[in-house]
């Protein structure tokens, strides 16, 4: 009995702290994966390229490659900088042409989006948001970023969502902390990222006991983000991941504060009795990013 040959895709999660390269198939299965720290572009990009070339030698040509990149990254195809990292506080990476480094070596189509838009797409296709076409994926870790799927498609626009840099109201127990964002000081990322927690409280969340005000402060800031997202992007589900969200005690605290900030105005069961299914943890966990890159590859090949 004949079988259709399985098409293979390259996937690159180009994260600010690590790169994940993988080969996968149309069903969202990863065959092989390689992880390494994001160092200088002059070593990191060649490492990505040679790993993918080695995989091609072993398995045959890739049908397409997908890249989910840390931001800000140029996503407008009409721009001469398409596929390059824009001005970033990350040393040495401003102006790095990730897409160009791939397209000079590989002939196949290359799909590109932010790592968080990719993760949102992966959760939509294979994870915890398969039943909704409008969702937001937020990661809370070293930074705070978000990706959005609107009517089934990743949202781009002028740049791409940068939800980590909205300005929440200051919590009453947190009036004096200056925040750690190099651009804004006390924007959301400056107040609620992992480094912000450590700077304010001298320890990461898992080392602070449940009565420590840091828990309440963190939940309030992230709930304000959820409220702003609900009132602007109107998603049908909010997925909160990243290192800080590994502390599962946060989710119920965030849900309660989200209801406080909305004040009953958005009259939807999803925001009342159904809130536990509205603000959720991602289902793909640490694989969301690389699976997102795989989804971008599949979509680029079609």
Q: Which residues bind its own copies (CB under 8 A)?
A: 72, 86-87, 134, 146, 148, 150-151, 153, 155-163, 165-170, 183-184, 187, 224, 227-236, 261-268, 270
**Cβ closest to its own copies, residue 47 vs residue 236:** 236
Q: How far is the CB of 132 from its own copies (least distance, A)?
A: 9
**Cβ closest to its own copies, residue 50 vs residue 234:** 234
Q: How far is the CB of 270 from its own copies (least distance, A)?
A: 6
Q: Could you tell me which residues come within 8 angstroms of residue 138 by beta carbon, excluding any fewer than 6 positions away? A: 116, 144, 145, 146, 163, 222, 225, 229, 238, 239, 240, 241, 242
**Cβ closest to its own copies, residue 102 vs residue 120:** 120
Q: How far is the CB of 273 from its own copies (least distance, A)?
A: 15
**Cβ closest to its own copies, residue 262 vs residue 290:** 262
Structure tokens at 15: 């994260």
Q: How far is the CB of 29 from its own copies (least distance, A)?
A: 30
Task: Kindly state the helix (H) or strand (E) to which residue 56 belongs, with its residue range.
Answer: helix 41-59
Cis ω for the linkage preceding 72 (within 30 of 0): yes
**Cβ closest to its own copies, residue 104 vs residue 169:** 169
Instruction: Determine the Cα–Cα distance for residues 71 and 16; give it in Å rounded to an integer.
Output: 8
Instruction: Determine the Cα–Cα distance for residues 294 and 284; give it in Å rounded to an integer.
Output: 13
DSSP 42: H
Instruction: Determine the Cα–Cα distance for residues 194 and 191; give it in Å rounded to an integer.
Output: 9
Q: How far is the CB of 235 from its own copies (least distance, A)?
A: 6
CB atoms within 10 A of CB 277: 12
């Amino acid at each position: 009995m004949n079988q259709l040959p399985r098409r293979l895709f390259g996937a690159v999660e180009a994260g600010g702290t690590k790169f994940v390269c993988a080969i996968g198939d149309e069903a969202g299965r990863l065959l092989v994966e390689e992880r390494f720290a994001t160092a200088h572009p002059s070593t990191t990009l060649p490492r990505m390229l040679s790993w993918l070339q080695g995989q091609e030698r072993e398995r045959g040509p890739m049908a397409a490659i997908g890249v989910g990149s840390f931001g800000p990254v140029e996503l407008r195809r009409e721009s001469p900088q398409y596929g390059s990292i824009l001005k970033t506080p990350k040393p040495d990476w401003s102006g790095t042409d990730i897409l160009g480094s791939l397209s000079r070596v590989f002939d196949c189509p290359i799909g590109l989006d932010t790592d968080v838009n990719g993760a949102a797409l992966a959760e939509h296709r294979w994870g915890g948001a398969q039943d909704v076409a409008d969702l937001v994926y937020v990661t809370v870790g070293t930074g705070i970023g978000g990706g959005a799927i609107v009517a089934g498609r990743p949202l781009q626009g002028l740049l791409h969502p940068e939800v980590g840099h909205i300005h929440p109201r200051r919590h009453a127990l947190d009036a004096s902390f200056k925040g750690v964002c190099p651009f804004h000081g006390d924007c959301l990322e400056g107040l609620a990222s992992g480094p912000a927690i450590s700077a304010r409280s001298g320890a990461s969340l898992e080392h602070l006991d449940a009565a420590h005000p840091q828990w309440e402060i963190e939940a309030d800031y992230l709930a304000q983000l959820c409220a702003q997202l609900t009132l602007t992007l109107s998603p049908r589900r909010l997925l909160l991941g990243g290192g800080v969200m590994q502390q599962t005690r946060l989710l119920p605290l965030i849900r309660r504060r989200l209801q406080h900030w909305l004040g009953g105005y958005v009259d939807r069961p999803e925001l009342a009795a159904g809130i536990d299914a509205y603000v959720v943890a991602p289902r793909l966990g640490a694989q969301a990013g690389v699976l997102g890159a795989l989804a971008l590859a599949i979509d680029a090949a079609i």
